[in-house]
Structure 1
């Protein structure tokens, strides 16, 4: 009896690693990968976010774009962030900022589209991740519970161009720049291509 308890309750490091791979593999199979931008379902808005690191400045940029079912821009944002820890950290920060803005704007239902698969997997998993951005994952999960409904999709980088361009633009921003009901000229082509579903 003691042996059975020991075997079921304690695992070798190799067994633990295998179990984690199984859990991670199961999560990744549930992820819907989108190749290009597509409109959200009726009643939803779609939030795309991205991060960009500027190593020379020791800073990073965040790009946020919120669109409706017709592909029209509801709001867009470029924000400069300091104290960059890692790419994972800035991608998670971008999503957290995007959710904070959407909560302030009173958005009830959201489709989140991000091109960073590790973050998508972390959010869809029940596993506790011991990473340098684990606290951000917890903050994001808390924010997500404040909406009526949230869907998470992993998008190909080509489907996230507008958010990426907004993140790169943060290089030129002192703190934050926002656009309401329109998009800046430098993302207008990406928005048009997304709206017309052109890769």
Structure 2
């Protein structure tokens, strides 16, 4: 009879799942043969979001084993990993839509705008959708450690309706814009927690969203420093206004060393909260 530890840790499928997942665990190096001991150890070593993924991957590995045993259907380890990452993203998205916390990314998201360090530029990003017109807006604002606006961007895209893809496209365009501004050290902030989760995972998703995220990861590697963080909507108001403006504008709008007048109240509010 197969043990729980063999099914979830030491069989070839389980070992491939743990090593190939964003957790990058080599379970063969773990000293105990008990899954309970393994889980206890992980509770002290991993963050909350990583533990969520560990639980989901354990469940999916167990389900895959049952499918193989009872129905003869064997899943490739990469399918188990992708399914687990997608499940976590969908869960976080559902929790956001219901106004609830969604794990460590949502819980740790800042409620107000905070400045970066002196060597770094923070770029807040947001997307907006006009479904009937089949257009979407991408807004971004670059600010320094004093909260001063260095540049703003309001761009329009077409033929995308899915909110997550719009958010990912907005981040991709903001990174391209940061390259155009010759910025070396940047922090990207978005209020879409599931995209932050996806960009922190080294899993290729075979979808339109996955293609955009792959572009983002490639762009991230081109900077001296680039980090993507979650911020709640209250800390992303300036980018949100720019995204809404992009839906109404006749063309793309870029400002450098100045900002549109309609942003002044939102920028001032962020400065007061510093």
- Provide the TM-score with structure 1 as the length reference: 0.86
Aligned ranges 1:1-199 → 2 under 5 Å = 7-9=11-13, 11=61, 13=63, 16=80, 20=84, 24=88, 29=104, 32-197=108-273
Q: Which has the higher strand share?
A: 1
Q: Which has the higher helix share?
A: 2
1:24 CA displacement: 4.7
- Structure 1 unmatched ranges of 5 or more: none
* Residues 142-185 of structure 1: CA deviation (Å, up to 9, x unaligned): 00000001122100000000000000011221220111112211
Preserved CA contact (<8 Å) 2:139 2:242: yes
- Structure 2 unmatched ranges of 5 or more: 15-60, 66-79, 90-102
Greater displacement, 181-190 / 100-109: 181-190
- When Rg is computed on C-alpha atoms for both structures, the one with the higher figure is 2
Counterpart CA distance in 2 for 1:79 and 1:8 is: 48
Q: Specify which structure has the bigger relative contact order, considering alpha-carbon pairs within 8 angstroms and separated by 6 or more residues.
A: 1
Name the CA shift for 1:125/1:169 in 2 (closer, same or farther; >3 Å): same
Name the CA shift for 1:47/1:7 in 2 (closer, same or farther; >3 Å): same
**Residue aligned with 1:146, SS:** coil
Counterpart CA distance in 2 for 1:127 and 1:101 is: 25
Cα RMSD (Å): 2.8
* Residues 34-74 of structure 1: CA deviation (Å, up to 9, x unaligned): 11101001200000110000122111111011011111111
Deviating above 6 A after TM superposition, structure 1's stretches of 4 or more consecutive aligned residues are 3-6
- Provide the TM-score with structure 2 as the length reference: 0.64
